[in-house]
Structure 1
Amino acid sequence: MAKVFVIGVGMTKFIKPRGEVDYPEMGLEASVKALNDANITYDKVEYAACGYVYGDSTAGQRVLYQLGMTQIPIINVNNNCSTGSTALLQARNAVASGSVDCAMALGFERMARGSLTSTFADRTNPMDHVTMQMIESVGFEPKAPPAAQIFGNAGIGYMNKYGATERHMAKIAEKNHSHSSRNPYSQFRDVYTLEQIEKSPKVFGPLTKLQCCPTSDGAGAVIVANEQFVIKHGLQDQAVEIVSQIMATDSPVMLSKDPIEWAGADMTRRAAAQAYQKAGITPNDVQVIELHDCFSANELLTYDALALTPPGKAHTLIDSGDNTYGGKYVVNPSGGLISKGHPLGATGLAQCSELVWQARGWAGDRQVPNVKYALQHNVGLGGAVVVTIYKKANANACKPLTNYNPAVEARSITQEDYDKAKSTKRAEFLEAKL
């Protein structure tokens, strides 16, 4: 299969879901930014995968028609919280297979306020197998959000089995809120003390409010291309190679009575092991990680599942400081889902954007030093996980092709940005709302 490179990334600032910005505007902003980053027009995109969880059937077309009705395949994707990275996988596969030279992955979400709930009450819930296992094993708390119960029970299971503590999970949240203060795209940029995190309102089990991701509105976009396209357009210095990308779904272990497995730990183990093998590296070769910390408990479990520590030793990474600046790894320099926010369809592409900026050395005061390999972990219960490993295409320094550094300044797009990105061959579907 052909090598695949990320040549452009873009995202909106993640915001509270107040209905202030609709999905066509968010999706357009992220798409224009990614196209401008790659210095190409929409005409060069031959395939698009558009991810969202809460929306009608052809929302991807509704967004991209604003750039031009170019008649390319546009695939709409919903894979729960792993939707964004699933869209990226689809775009990458289109390029890797030789079907197209250049493809786009777009993810966006306009969410309802409050905890996640089931959209349809008149049909089987796709998470019923997990929920029933939890009810039979430990019961169900009607007043607590179901997702918080699944991940909270997983954290309790890890504590009981391996000796981690509630404080370890609070320290994860403390770290991510601190990291987020440096990220202009984050929904929350306040820094909290460990005591403030521990004393914030309880949600379920060890999880307090400041250890749980918020619902968010936002969008992200990524442009991928093959090596010939990269060379033709002079993008070698800013291109970031996807050296491996693996999706896995649940194994029967998820149906065990071990609550750690209810959170999808086994599919992360499988995807990570295969991703390292395909990339020809070990976890020790990675410097920076964007990890799906929908709850602090899941970050704890995932240290173990990604083999960043030996089995059962995830909490030692926290004790040693090896999960933040100055340590072995920097995990969630963006602030993670806990603080940056979690618009379900956009999360995986925002993770990719952060790691691409890190690989290029553009991340300013949140830059991780000496990045050679970057790892992304995006999980959706029900279930799917995508683990992706990146490295810069070459060692040459590069500067943004836009008139500002998008990694450190969360600007809106201008008419000039839009005109530079839109199709030059096909009429726009609608005037863009800029």
Structure 2
Amino acid sequence: MTAKTFVLGGHQTDFSRNWAREEKSLFDMFKETLEGGLSSTGLEPQQIQAAHVGNFTSEIFCNQGHLGGFFTATDWGFDGMPAQRHEAACASGSMAMLSAMAEIEAGRYDLIAVLGIEMMRNVPGDQAAKFIGGPAMWADRECLDVKYPWPHIFSELADEYDQRYGLKFEHLAQISKNNFDNATRNPNAQSRKWTFTEESFQENDEANPRISGRIRRSDCGQVTDGGAIVFLASERAAREYAKKHGKSLNNIARIDGWGHRTSHISYKDKVEASRGKPYVIPNVRRAIEDAFSRANVSIDDLSGIETHDCFSTNEYMAIDHFGISAPGESWKAIENGDIAMGGRIPVNPSGGLIGLGHPVGATGVRMMLDCAKQVTGTAGDYQVEGANKFGILNIGGSCTTAASFVVSA
């Protein structure tokens, strides 16, 4: 990385809210996210030099595109500010961040807003499954007669692990237990007030219904409404901000490394290409390795991780792809408690997509915000003690797009 990028702070909405039931629109969510970010950082609209929006399907769910115009619709102080939108399925927010970082590294701008947003609870569940199914996979070739496309695909990922290395349901269930438990400490988590029994995490068709194949209700990330924003800054802007707000530059989060890899849109083609290789999804491993290399760190240097757990199987994959365990041995890190709060390297202290929620376009931005909180000691009840470096993995589709970051302070 040729220039440092800092995270001045940001804001996320309460992911438990159903905005349609509140008779509020996508713009209302955007406005509240943006104003919350400005308030929490003490920034003014005129200070923001550019903006990037991460969003996946606002045209389908809300009949609304052209989201960059919402900045000036929120406050005329943004009038004339360049803004653009980015899409890469569930990694849309990370694409917005990467583009903002590139502009800072190039010296175009010193202070950029990155806002991720998605409204998905304004339609029935079956319809939402269709809206987020086909567009992120090969629409006319994959899952043509499948009711729930993504549970089906990530059940196939479980099958692949089972075929190559062996896989037990109890290990996937423990991932979900961890994330739901972590979510109880997060005041913005969608599931923070939900109640569970032991049967909720067992192969029990009444308490934990099967959704598709190996995937049961407990394995699933949530359909969520929500927005998140972070403000990225050059070193010069970060120093000015720190001085103005009585902070040290060392107390502001910094992005030390990034990785971005894209592979075949088809799940089966990606997996077939990985036959005989140690990692089931090689482009995910390569994105993580790129981030580690740019940050000059190894897995042992990280205090924790925020990873993409749209399903428990995806977090299972992330464990060995991060190098927490050897390939195919993610179960060891689960059984040893390595990934639980208080463990060697806590994964998803926020609750992740399973516990906190998954507003698709906002997820990558929310991950960055949570990691910035962790390394600056401001994560509240879900703070990892002594955290100074955090890793991120945000994926799109069937791991077609993989984005990884290392954040420190």
**2:96 is the alignment partner of 1:79:** no
Q: Secondary structure at the match of 2:392?
A: strand
Number of aligned residue pairs: give it. 383
Which aligned pairs between 1:311-390 and structure 2 lie closer than 5 A? 311-381=327-397, 383-390=400-407
Q: Is the Cα contact below 8 Å between 1:8 and 1:34 reproduced in 2?
A: yes
Match of 1:51 in 2: 54
**2:191 is the alignment partner of 1:188:** yes
Match of 1:4 in 2: 5
By how many angstroms is 1:154 displaced? 0.3
Which aligned pairs between 1:90-105 and structure 2 lie closer than 5 A? 90-105=99-114
Q: Is the Cα contact below 8 Å between 1:7 and 1:37 reproduced in 2?
A: no
Q: Secondary structure at the match of 2:115?
A: strand
Q: Is the Cα contact below 8 Å between 1:292 and 1:377 reproduced in 2?
A: yes
**2:238 is the alignment partner of 1:222:** no
Q: Is the Cα contact below 8 Å between 2:392 and 2:406 reproduced in 1?
A: yes
Change (3 A) 1:65 1:130: same
By how many angstroms is 1:57 displaced? 2.6
**2:164 is the alignment partner of 1:161:** yes
Which aligned pairs between 1:17-416 and structure 2 lie closer than 5 A? 17=18, 19=20, 20=22, 21-55=24-58, 56-68=64-76, 69-111=78-120, 112-114=123-125, 116-119=128-131, 127-128=137-138, 132=142, 142-143=146-147, 145-189=148-192, 190-198=194-202, 199=204, 200-233=208-241, 234=243, 235=247, 236-250=249-263, 255-256=268-269, 258=271, 265-381=281-397, 383-392=400-409
CA displacement 1:118-147 (0-9 Å, x = unmatched) = 4499xx956228954xx7xxxx7634x111
Aligned CA RMSD, in angstroms, stands at: 2.6
In the alignment, residue 187 of structure 1 is paired with which amino acid?
Q
The separation in 1 between residues aligned to 2:152 and 2:348, in whole angstroms, is 23
Change (3 A) 1:113 1:290: farther
CA displacement 1:26-80 (0-9 Å, x = unmatched) = 2222222222333221111111001112223312312443122421110011211
Q: Is the Cα contact below 8 Å between 2:308 and 2:352 reproduced in 1?
A: yes
The separation in 2 between residues aligned to 1:147 and 1:209, in whole angstroms, is 13
In the alignment, residue 282 of structure 2 is paired with which amino acid?
D
By how many angstroms is 1:176 displaced? 0.4
CA displacement 1:338-376 (0-9 Å, x = unmatched) = 121111111111111111111111122211011121011
Change (3 A) 1:227 1:211: same
The separation in 2 between residues aligned to 1:165 and 1:64, in whole angstroms, is 51
In the alignment, residue 248 of structure 1 is paired with which amino acid?
R
User: What fraction of aligned residue pairs are identical, expressed as a percent?
Assistant: 27
The separation in 2 between residues aligned to 1:88 and 1:120, in whole angstroms, is 22
Q: Is the Cα contact below 8 Å between 1:177 and 1:191 reproduced in 2?
A: no
The separation in 1 between residues aligned to 2:254 and 2:104, in whole angstroms, is 12
Match of 1:423 in 2: none
Match of 1:416 in 2: none
Match of 1:400 in 2: none
Change (3 A) 1:284 1:94: same
Relative to the length of structure 1, the TM-score reads 0.82
CA displacement 1:235-272 (0-9 Å, x = unmatched) = 52541000011211016995448479699822211100
By how many angstroms is 1:207 displaced? 1.6
Match of 2:61 in 1: none
Match of 1:14 in 2: 15
By how many angstroms is 1:169 displaced? 0.4
Q: Is the Cα contact below 8 Å between 2:11 and 2:228 reproduced in 1?
A: yes
The separation in 1 between residues aligned to 2:49 and 2:231, in whole angstroms, is 11
Relative to the length of structure 2, the TM-score reads 0.87
Q: Is the Cα contact below 8 Å between 1:325 and 1:368 reproduced in 2?
A: yes
Deviates more, 1:217-226 or 1:36-45: 36-45
Change (3 A) 1:106 1:120: closer
The separation in 2 between residues aligned to 1:187 and 1:261, in whole angstroms, is 35
Q: Is the Cα contact below 8 Å between 2:376 and 2:388 reproduced in 1?
A: no
Change (3 A) 1:45 1:295: same
The separation in 1 between residues aligned to 2:393 and 2:107, in whole angstroms, is 26
In the alignment, residue 317 of structure 1 is paired with which amino acid?
A
Identify unmatched segments of 5+ residues in structure 2: 59-63
Q: Is the Cα contact below 8 Å between 2:118 and 2:225 reproduced in 1?
A: yes
Q: Secondary structure at the match of 2:189?
A: coil
By how many angstroms is 1:23 displaced? 1.6
